[in-house]
Amino acid sequence: MPKIIGIVGTRQRDTEEDYHDVLDVFKIVYDDGDIICSGGCKKGGDRFAEIIAGNMRMTEENGRLIIHRPKPVPKGSPKWAFAKVNYERNTLVANDSDILIACIAINRKGGTEDTIKKFLKKHSEYDLIIV
């Protein structure tokens, strides 16, 4: 049975080196037929997930890529409304993933940490790979 590999990460880590760190770990845990799950952010781990998926011809259409993009928030909404939809997205990624690859921020704050905490409520720390 294929497993779902979640790939998340802070927008602060968006370099080529960070990408290759995530890719190296992905290659270790990936088995043919596995699925990638991520949050659809344009920087960091979510971007890396989409690059990896694209290179492997994994798409939402063929069922090999799950992207939980945040729901749209109307312009002018309070800051908490934007945070709320992002934290809801983190919950979906954490709940869907069997393994989580997390490209973390140095200060260990933000949405990636929220996703990690939610993931660890359901899974063992052995299913979490910190990059």
Q: How far apart are CA 25 and CA 40, in angstroms?
A: 20
pLDDT at position 16 over 90: yes
What tens digit of pLDDT does each residue of 75-108 get? Answer: 899 989 988 998 999 999 999 999 999 999 888 7
What tens digit of pLDDT does each residue of 49-66 get? Answer: 999 999 999 999 999 999
Read off the pTM: 0.92
Q: Is 115 helix (H, G, I), strand (E, B) or coil?
A: helix
Q: How far apart are CA 96 and CA 8, in angstroms?
A: 13
Q: For residue 19, what is the enclosing H or E element?
A: helix 16-29
Contact 66, 96 (CB under 8 A): yes
CATH class of this structure's domain 4-130:
alpha beta
